Amino acid sequence: MDSPTLRLAKELIRRASITPIDAGCQDLIGERLQALGFRNEIMQFGDVTNLWTRRGEKAPLFVFAGHTDVVPTGPVSEWRFPPFEPTVHEGMLYGRGAADMKGSVAAFITACERFLAHCPEPNGSIALLITSDEEGPAVDGTVKVVEALSARGETIDLCVVGEPSSSTRVGDIVKVGRRGSLNGRLRVMGEQGHVAYPHLALNPLHAFAPALLELTQQQWDAGNDDFPPTTFQISNIKGGTGATNVIPGEIELLLNFRFSTEVTADELKAEVEALLQRHDLRFEIEWTLSAQPFLTGEGRLRNATAIAVEAVCGRAPEMTTTGGTSDGRFIAPTGAEVVELGPVNATIHKVNEHVAAEDLDMLSAMYEKLLEELLGKA
């Protein structure tokens, strides 16, 4: 069990590339692709290293998009094997980034190598967009590369993001869109005082509680054929002095909407603020829009992806828009068709992250078949 894809995935995992550090991963990727005729371009923004590498000038431009950065390991003592010493045990490749997403990046490269060996003059161009900022703030990564490409008239037509989209078996799920993500930082003000004299104070948590109940019970929309209904969650809440006998003067909450195409970010903002006003709260709220929802409809990329998965796995994938956000949110607004196809996501961001070694070869075969379907036919 020592395929080219597995060997390359191991080499990438050995590089401790915790966001925004790339640790030489993109140099390794660039060397492999330069040997195939790709032209490498390093785009540095702040502390973030991005690689844009392209072969060919003809349309359509097909892009594999991914990232070399990984999340922190957590307690190393809890790992079965050292997180940056890739280990294959009972058919599983262990290591930070094995599933998210150095395995996919390795599969991108070996798929390109095989495809170009038998189709050196494809009917279009191939590029890879690789960032070291996907797991972090994501402000100097893919979004900046896409802006730079757009400024010089370089247009992505088709894009496969290698995020771990699969659920129980590789290729069972393909993401064809993502929900929007809207964040709010809410401050509710009261009046600090002694807990024994509540009539001389105003507890902002108590005042906010009825509004919170209403927020959690609100149906924001019913979703549609492509998207589940919009959801609302409180992710953080902070208040108080730490003392047991002091009523807090204010509380701060972080909230998030994952929203469908049935509602806009502005509509959600307006509904929340109107609800808070109805409850006579003194509040301030700051909004941050992390992503607009996007959907890749029926077309050449979705069709080719279904063909590729079925050819390798023997079954058709489910096309969904569930889950969190990905860097596809920066690419889709340019007009590109975008799908996400990657390994099983059961252990991503966890201690003992791992992926089936044979799944990486299957994934590479799917990517190669995609290239054949999209660029290898007259």
Point out the residues that are catalytic: 69, 134
**Structure tokens belonging to residue 260:** 């469908």
Instruction: Please tell me whether residue 217 adopts helix, strand or coil conformation.
Output: helix
* 100 belongs to an annotated ligand binding site: yes
DSSP 8-state class, residue 25: H
Residue 61 identity: L
* 163 belongs to an annotated ligand binding site: yes
41-46: long-range contacts, CB 8 A cutoff, minimum separation 24? 43/144, 43/145, 43/148, 45/140, 45/141, 45/144, 46/20, 46/139, 46/140
**Structure tokens belonging to residue 327:** 């860097």
> Which residue has tokens 């077309």?
299
* 279 belongs to an annotated ligand binding site: no
CA nearest neighbour of 126 among 186, 198, 55, 73: 55
CA-CA distance, 159 to 92, in Å (whole number)? 28
Helix segments in the chain, DSSP class H: 4-13, 25-34, 103-118, 142-151, 204-217, 265-278, 300-313, 328-331, 357-375
CA distances from 206 to 189, 199, 283, 366 (A): 11, 13, 14, 55
**Structure tokens belonging to residue 56:** 């060919």
DSSP 8-state class, residue 334: G
Largest CA distance in the chain: 81
* 135 belongs to an annotated ligand binding site: yes
Binding residues: 67, 100, 135, 163, 349
Binding residues for Zn(2+): 67, 100, 135, 163, 349
